[in-house]
Structures are given as C-alpha cells and as structure tokens.
Amino acid sequence: MTALPAASPKKLGLVIDLDICVGCHACAVNCKEWNSGGHAAPLTDFDAYGAKPDGVWFNRIHTFEAGEGAAGRTVHFPKSCMHCETPACVTVCPTGASFKRAADGIVLVDEDKCIGCKLCSWACPYGAREFDSQEGVMKKCTLCIDRIYNETLDERDRVPACVAACPVGARHFGDLGDEDSPVSQLVAERGGYGLMPELGYTPVNQYLPPRPSQARAGCTGATALPVDDVTPARGFLRWVDRLLSR
C-alpha cells in the first residue's frame, strides 16, 4: 500500500553533524560495500574502471561553500534518504512497491513489485532514490534494516553502515520520535534542522549546523617556544642534550 501509515511514534533516522564531517566519503564507501551484499543488492556499477564510471549509491557527499571571506565556511555535506514523515515518493508509487513502515518509519522499496516507472525519484526533492537500469528497479537507502535488527551482529554493530564507518563521529543513529533519545537531545541542543522544510516532506534525518567559527585560535596546550630552545630539565635527556650541545 502506498498510502502512508498513521504516524508512528518511532522515527528511526540519522543525525549528521556538519561541524565535524571532514568529507572523507568513508560513510558512502561503507554503505556501498555493505549494501552491495545487503537487502537491496546488487548496487549495480557501470564502466566502473572506465572513463565514465556510473553506479547506484545510497549516500553521496557534497561539499559546499557558504558565506564570503573570513566569515565563509567550507561544509562537507553527506546526503541520503531522510525517511520523511510525509514522503511523496511513497504516495506517488502506482504499484505499492514504495512503502513506509508503520513500526519504525523506514521508507523502503519492494523490488519484486517495482515496475521501474521512476516516478518516485521525481517525487523525492532530495535525490535520494537512484534507478538501477540493469535490474530495472528503484533503489534507495534502507537505513540498513539488515544491520540494525540483525541479531547475529554484536550489539554495537547494529547501526547503519555509514554510522559505523564514520571516523570522526559525525553520524548518529537513533529514534527521533523519542524526545529523550540521545539523537533527539543532540538535535535540541545544537539546533538541528531538516532540509527544504518549505516542501513539507518533514524529513526525519536532521542536520547539525556548523558551530560559529572562532575569530582567534584558542590555546592548544602546545609550547610556544621554538623546539631548539627547549632544554630538558633533568635526567638522562639533559645529559644527552649537554653532550650534543658541546
């Protein structure tokens, strides 16, 4: 059924910290790796080693510049399905292949029903759906349903592949429907927001804005002295220093 279920209390999604993201693409690469063998597999590639590589990815990392001069910022910007609360990608689907789960709000495609009309990808404002022209069906982020509920994995690994991969901790996964969850508190604390609110899709995923930049660098704890002026105060190093300084 492509009609939307009643709003679920549980809203699983991602919180992405734009202050921390370094734009390394590790999340996208791990997403591709996991999902090439996961629920929506394969994630077809074309001409992968040729001049015009192309393929299906669920997560893409853009980099933007905002503002001018000293006040300007370079912001790395990962983007994947927002698992919207009112996703038109679901309601436009003529076959019932696209659906939003009542239990946790995850938006999925049933590939056995999909006729590959592509209309859902037109209806998504965020470009979160990519058509697999080899399989003839639409593909999208599953929020790693095959990890987050996977009891054969260690409990700490039951997070989406992108979250598991992020080397700087810029990605958080949790229940944004629960006000007390760590992700909801992070959003409240940092003024997190959804993208393109004017379109009314009410994305579940939230972005944490970059913190204001510092006008001057603070103390980092490193010494300000040139290294060769440093004389070890005592012990073996002091003896070596004196020996070499002769």
Partner 1 sequence: MHPAYSVIFFTSASGGGYLLLALLALFGALGILPTDPVLGVVGFGVGFVAVTAGLLASTFHLGHPERAWRAFSQWRSSWLSREGVLSLATFVPAGLLAILWVFFGRTSMPLAILTILLALATVSATAMIYASLKPVQRWANGYVLPNYLLLGLASGATWLALITAIVLPAFYATIVLDWTAIIALGLAALGKVAYWRFIDRSRSASTPESATGLGAIGKVRLFAAPHTEENYLLKEMGYQVARKHALKLRLIALALGFTVPAILVFLAMLVSGWAAVALLALATIGNAIGTLTERWLFFAEARHTVTLYYGSEAA
Binding positions for ligand SF4, rule: CB under 6 A: 81-84, 87, 89, 92-93, 95, 97-98, 107, 109, 114-120, 124, 126, 128-129, 138, 140, 201
In the structure encoding, which two tokens stand for residue 27, read together? 């999340």
Minimum separation from the CB atom of position 71 to partner 1 (A): 7
Number of residues that bind partner 1 (CB under 8 A): 72
Only one residue has tokens 């990962």, namely 78
In the structure encoding, which two tokens stand for residue 83, read together? 């698992």
| Binder of residue 83, out of partner 1, ligand SF4, none (CB less than 5 to 8 A by kind) | ligand SF4
- Could you give the CA distance from residue 204 to residue 202 in angstroms, rounded to a whole number? 6
- Could you give the CA distance from residue 14 to residue 183 in angstroms, rounded to a whole number? 8
| Contact call for residue 31 and partner 1 (CB under 8 A) | no
| Contact call for residue 75 and partner 1 (CB under 8 A) | yes
Return the range that interacts with partner 1 (CB under 8 A); candidates 34-42, 61-69, 159-167, 217-225: 61-69
Minimum separation from the CB atom of position 200 to partner 1 (A): 7
E strand segments, the chain:
12-17, 45-46, 54-55, 60-66, 73-79, 98-100, 107-109, 129-132, 137-140, 171-175, 206-208
Minimum separation from the CB atom of position 21 to ligand SF4 (A): 19
Only one residue has tokens 């949790």, namely 174
Return the range that interacts with partner 1 (CB under 8 A); candidates 6-14, 72-80, 157-165, 217-225: 72-80
Minimum separation from the CB atom of position 14 to ligand SF4 (A): 11
User: Of the two residues 77 and 158, which places its CB atom closer to partner 1 in the complex?
Assistant: 77
Minimum separation from the CB atom of position 63 to partner 1 (A): 4
Among 65, 155, 180, 189, binds partner 1 (CB under 8 A): 65
User: Of the two residues 97 and 176, which places its CB atom closer to partner 1 in the complex?
Assistant: 97
SS3 45: strand
The dihedral sign for the CA sequence 89, 197, 15, 125: positive
Q: Are strands 12-17 and 206-208 parallel, antiparallel or unpaired?
A: parallel
Question: Within the chain, how many helices (H) and strands (E) appear?
Answer: 7, 11
Residue from 12, 141, 140, 22 nearest 77 by CA: 22
| Binder of residue 209, out of ligand SF4, partner 1, none (CB less than 5 to 8 A by kind) | partner 1
Q: Are strands 73-79 and 129-132 parallel, antiparallel or unpaired?
A: unpaired
Residues of span 160-199 touching partner 1 by CB under 8 A: 193-199
| Binder of residue 164, out of partner 1, ligand SF4, none (CB less than 5 to 8 A by kind) | none
Residues of span 79-138 touching partner 1 by CB under 8 A: 79, 88, 90-97, 113-119, 121-127, 130-133, 135-138
Whether the CB-CB separation of 89 and 123 falls below 8 Å is answered with: yes
